[in-house]
Amino acid sequence: MNNPAEIARETLKLLASRKLAATPNNYTAVYQEISGEPVEASGAETILVGVAQRLVKESPKTSAIGKSLKQAISSRDWARCQNELQHFLFPPAEQTKAAPLAWSDLIRDLLRQLETTHKGLTIARKREGLETVLGRFSSDPAVLSEKLQGLIRSWSSGQTETLDAKVSNETEITAPQLSAAPAVIDTASPGATMPNLADHALLGQLGELLAQTLESTLQLHPELSGEVTALIGQVRTAHSHDQINQLAEKLRHFWLHMELHGGDKIKVQEGLIRLLRMLVENVSELVADDKWLHGQIGMFQEIIANPIDKHIIADAERSLRDAIIKQGLLQQSLTDAKSTLKTLMSSFIDRLGELTDTTGEYHTKMESYSQKIGGTDNLAELGHILDDIMQDTRTIQESALRSRDELLATRKQADEAERRIHELETELEHVSELVREDQLTGALNRRGLDEIMEREYKRADRNPTPIIIALLDVDNFKRLNDTLGHQAGDQALIHLASVIKDALRPSDSVGRYGGEEFIIVLPDTALEEGIATISRLQRELTKRFFMHNNERQLITFSAGVALRSENETADDTIARADQAMYLAKQTGKNRVVAAD
Ligand SMILES: Nc1nc2c(ncn2[C@@H]2O[C@H](COP(=O)(O)OP(=O)(O)OP(=O)(O)O)[C@@H](O)[C@H]2O)c(=O)[nH]1
């Protein structure tokens, strides 16, 4: 139909049949429908189309309204347009009611988490994060709520470093969270989006990871095992929005319990250490003269005084176990030697008693002979008395002689037993000192070294004499370990320590400073002399090879030699020797460098 008059006539007919009012808009629309020419949109209509398009793009939630609005505009169904717009501007009551509830929970949670102690997070740091979130997102309550929840999660998970990054990236701050579970989980909820399979799988994996993480806390907090087991069951079976919300609430309670229990454990640990410190201090006073215990107690005091480190405890345990085994053996020998001495002493006393008895009897007899002699003039009888006297005198002489020999022998044995006891006691004292030795090489350990250096430094302060501290580090030791094995490496260290000990003077000391590092203390030694001594050690090592599987292995070391400056602390001298040793390594290894 091309004739405009005919089109106009048809338009009026259609308006009447559709019972539409003959308004300009209706007329234009029907006219266009018949003629097939595009409708020239009115100003208001153009604005409405723009609004609809914006809603489609804005978010998944507004997109549906936008699309429906677009359809209503194109079919010119203005009542529907009005409906859609109202729906968008004034959402149904239940949607708006949910917000205050979520806010009260959120604020409660926020306050609780703000006051709870989180490792590595101060309250000031938390406040700072809170200020940033409030400053940036307070214009949009929904976004603000999400960001605040993200912030709380980051506190509980200890992700302090990522907090700033998250705050600065608006789209990243909230990872999907349990308390605000995404609609994709619950397809039955009104308005829910169809779940995406990949999201489902990811959520399942996350759930399983959470369950495993919870399982791993069972060992740490056995007292919470009932709660943890129930939570694990719930994590594995929670699928709906409601279930996940309930789970989130229980998890929050669980975190709180864990924090309380963790805090208790730390307090218990601190209390035990305090008790142990008191006990050790008291014991060390009680046994002030008991050298057997000095080494062990000193070691304990040192461990407790410093931050507890599992490696130090393990080292100490090894040394102590060795010392205790050796002390046990020596104690047994000492007990045996003491009981031998006791037996000897008692037999000694018995013999003395016998001797006294015998001499007492002899005196009595002599008295009776003297009376008999006084009461007779008979020569024959006097002859008999004399024979008896001679016999008794010979017997007592023999007995005295035998007793003298026996007593001498017993005395000798007693002396021997006493000497052995003394020897064992000295050895026992020395065993206690074993905790000052490095168990592998027999050189001093760090503790032993500290004591020697303190002693020598004090001596040098009283009576000014030079002291040399040399730091030796075996060259390419890692390669030796890698090619010959760790045990060969150990043997090489034992060999090195033995060569050093043999080459030094008795007044010098050698201690193991670290893995393959040794410190040598040369008292009363000038710098030139010290350098010469350490260079001599290098030559010794080229003469006394380390043998491994019948093959000669050359061990070399780099050394830094420092002369103690006036009033310098041991740590400072070591630091200078270390720098010089580092220079020796840098300039080709197997050399000795004097410290500045
Ligand atoms: N066998 C054995 N090896 C040890 C011991 N203590 C430390 N080590 C090893 O010593 C090696 C030291 O390696 P690095 O510090 O790289 O030094 P390096 O190989 O000697 O190299 P340079 O010092 O540059 O010459 C490491 O492999 C340690 O594992 C020990 O008691 N026994």
Dist. CA 475 → ligand 1 center (Å): 8
Binding site membership of 439 for ligand 1 (Cβ less than 6 Å): no
Q: Are residues 547 and 407 in the same domain?
A: no
pTM, full prediction: 0.40
Q: Are residues 339 and 230 in the same domain?
A: no
Dist. CA 570 → ligand 1 center (Å): 24
Packing angle, helices 141-156 and 160-168, rounded to 10 = 160
Do 322 and 296 meet the contact criterion of CB atoms below 8 Å apart? Answer: no
What's the mean pLDDT in 1-7?
A: 74
pLDDT number for residue 394: 86
Distance CA 457, CA 303 (A): 24
pLDDT number for residue 78: 77
Do 587 and 593 meet the contact criterion of CB atoms below 8 Å apart? Answer: yes
Nearest atom of ligand 1 to the alpha carbon of 515 = 6
What CATH number is attached to the domain comprising 545? 3.30.70.270
Binding site membership of 478 for ligand 1 (Cβ less than 6 Å): yes
What's the mean pLDDT in 223-241?
A: 84
| 485, two tokens | 């094995």
Nearest atom of ligand 1 to the alpha carbon of 488 = 1
Q: Are residues 417 and 504 in the same domain?
A: no
Last residue of a domain, one of 260, 285, 304: 260
Nearest CA to ligand 1 atom 23: 475
Neighbour count for residue 504 (Cβ, 10 Å):
17
Distance CA 221, CA 527 (A): 59
Binding site membership of 515 for ligand 1 (Cβ less than 6 Å): yes
Whether residue 284 is contained in a domain is answered as no
pLDDT number for residue 561: 98
Last residue of a domain, one of 433, 464, 488: 433
What's the mean pLDDT in 217-231?
A: 81
Whether residue 314 is contained in a domain is answered as no
Q: What is the 3-state secondary structure (H, E, C) of 365-376?
A: HHHHHHHHHHCC
| 140, two tokens | 């949009």
What's the mean pLDDT in 560-576?
A: 96
**Cα 566–Cα 570–Cα 571 angle in degrees, nearest 5:** 120
Neighbour count for residue 567 (Cβ, 10 Å):
8
* Torsional sign, CA 400, 406, 411, 414: negative
- DSSP-derived secondary structure letter, 437: B
What 445-451 contacts at long range (C-beta under 8 Å, 24+ apart), as own/partner pairs, is 445/319, 445/511, 445/512, 446/511, 446/512, 446/513, 447/298, 447/299, 447/302, 448/511, 449/509, 449/511, 449/513, 449/519, 449/521, 450/570
Q: Percent of the chain beyond pLDDT 70?
A: 83
Q: Are residues 381 and 449 in the same domain?
A: no
Q: Are residues 231 and 125 in the same domain?
A: yes
Q: Are residues 255 and 368 in the same domain?
A: no
* Per-residue pLDDT reduced to its tens digit, 135-159: 777 777 777 888 888 888 777 765 4
- DSSP-derived secondary structure letter, 202: H
Element (H, E) at 73: helix 60-74
Percentages helix, strand, coil for the chain, rounded to the nearest 5? Answer: 75, 5, 20
What's the mean pLDDT in 335-340?
A: 80
Whether residue 237 is contained in a domain is answered as yes
Binding site membership of 490 for ligand 1 (Cβ less than 6 Å): yes
Last residue of a domain, one of 260, 282, 298: 260
Dist. CA 477 → ligand 1 center (Å): 5
CB-based contacts of 253, cutoff 8 Å, min separation 6: none
pLDDT number for residue 310: 67
* Per-residue pLDDT reduced to its tens digit, 296-330: 777 777 777 777 666 667 666 766 776 777 777 77
Q: Are residues 543 and 523 in the same domain?
A: yes
3-state secondary structure of 189: coil
Helix spans in 75-119 (H): 78-89, 93-115
Dist. CA 517 → ligand 1 center (Å): 9
What 337-346 contacts at long range (C-beta under 8 Å, 24+ apart), as own/partner pairs, is 337/417, 337/420, 337/421, 337/424, 338/417, 338/421, 340/413, 340/417, 341/414, 341/417, 341/418, 341/421, 344/410, 344/413, 344/414, 344/417, 345/414
Q: Which of 478, 482, 546 to mutate to test the pocket of ligand 1 (most atoms within 8 A of CB)?
A: 478
What one-letter code names the amino acid at 110? L
Whether residue 508 is contained in a domain is answered as yes
* Per-residue pLDDT reduced to its tens digit, 158-213: 544 333 334 333 333 333 333 333 333 333 344 444 445 556 666 777 778 788 88
Tokens 């996350």 sit on residue:
206
Point out which residues pair with 562 in neighbouring strands: 469
Tokens 């608006």 sit on residue:
170
* 354 labelled catalytic: no
Q: Are residues 499 and 529 in the same domain?
A: yes
What 393-401 contacts at long range (C-beta under 8 Å, 24+ apart), as own/partner pairs, is 393/362, 396/358, 396/359, 396/362, 399/355, 399/358, 400/355, 400/358, 400/359
* Distance in angstroms between the alpha carbons of the first and the last residue of the chain: 109
- Average confidence score pLDDT of the chain: 79
Nearest CA to ligand 1 atom 26: 478
Dist. CA 481 → ligand 1 center (Å): 7
Q: Which of 318, 471, 516, 591 to mutate to test the pocket of ligand 1 (most atoms within 8 A of CB)?
A: 516
Provide the number of structural domains found in the chain: 4
List 516, 528, 540, 566, catalytic entry? 516
Binding site membership of 489 for ligand 1 (Cβ less than 6 Å): yes
Whether residue 19 is contained in a domain is answered as yes
Q: Which of 481, 483, 491, 585 to mutate to test the pocket of ligand 1 (most atoms within 8 A of CB)?
A: 481
Nearest atom of ligand 1 to the alpha carbon of 589 = 25
Dist. CA 478 → ligand 1 center (Å): 4
Helix spans in 169-240 (H): 197-220, 225-237
What's the mean pLDDT in 381-408?
A: 83
Find the domain containing 245 and state its range: 114-176+199-260
DSSP string, 334-358: HHHHHHHHHHHHHHHHHHHHHHHHH
Q: Are residues 69 and 138 in the same domain?
A: no
Binding site membership of 443 for ligand 1 (Cβ less than 6 Å): no
Q: Are residues 460 and 572 in the same domain?
A: yes
Nearest atom of ligand 1 to the alpha carbon of 481 = 1
Nearest CA to ligand 1 atom 5: 515
pLDDT number for residue 347: 76
Whether residue 310 is contained in a domain is answered as no
pLDDT number for residue 25: 72
Nearest CA to ligand 1 atom 18: 476
Distance CA 313, CA 487 (A): 23
Neighbour count for residue 183 (Cβ, 10 Å):
16
Distance CA 301, CA 582 (A): 33
Dist. CA 516 → ligand 1 center (Å): 6
Nearest CA to ligand 1 atom 11: 478
What's the mean pLDDT in 574-583?
A: 97
pLDDT band for position 433 (cuts 50, 70, 90): low
Q: What is the ipTM of this complex?
A: 0.93
Distance CA 258, CA 248 (A): 15
Nearest CA to ligand 1 atom 21: 476
- DSSP-derived secondary structure letter, 90: S
CB-based contacts of 198, cutoff 8 Å, min separation 6: none
Q: Lowest mean pLDDT: which of 100-114, 161-175, 323-337, 518-532?
A: 161-175
Whether residue 303 is contained in a domain is answered as no
Length of the chain: 596
Whether residue 56 is contained in a domain is answered as yes
Q: Are residues 12 and 79 in the same domain?
A: yes
Q: Percent of the chain beyond pLDDT 90?
A: 24
- C-alpha distances out from residue 491 to 179, 441, 446, 471, 511, Å: 61, 9, 20, 20, 16
Q: Which of 445, 477, 518, 581 to mutate to test the pocket of ligand 1 (most atoms within 8 A of CB)?
A: 477
Dist. CA 65 → ligand 1 center (Å): 71
Dist. CA 471 → ligand 1 center (Å): 15
In a 13 Å sphere around the CA of 76, the CA atoms on its Cβ side amount to 14
Q: Are residues 400 and 472 in the same domain?
A: no
Do 539 and 533 meet the contact criterion of CB atoms below 8 Å apart? Answer: no
- For residue 562, give the nearest of 585, 587, 579 by alpha carbon: 579
Nearest CA to ligand 1 atom 13: 478
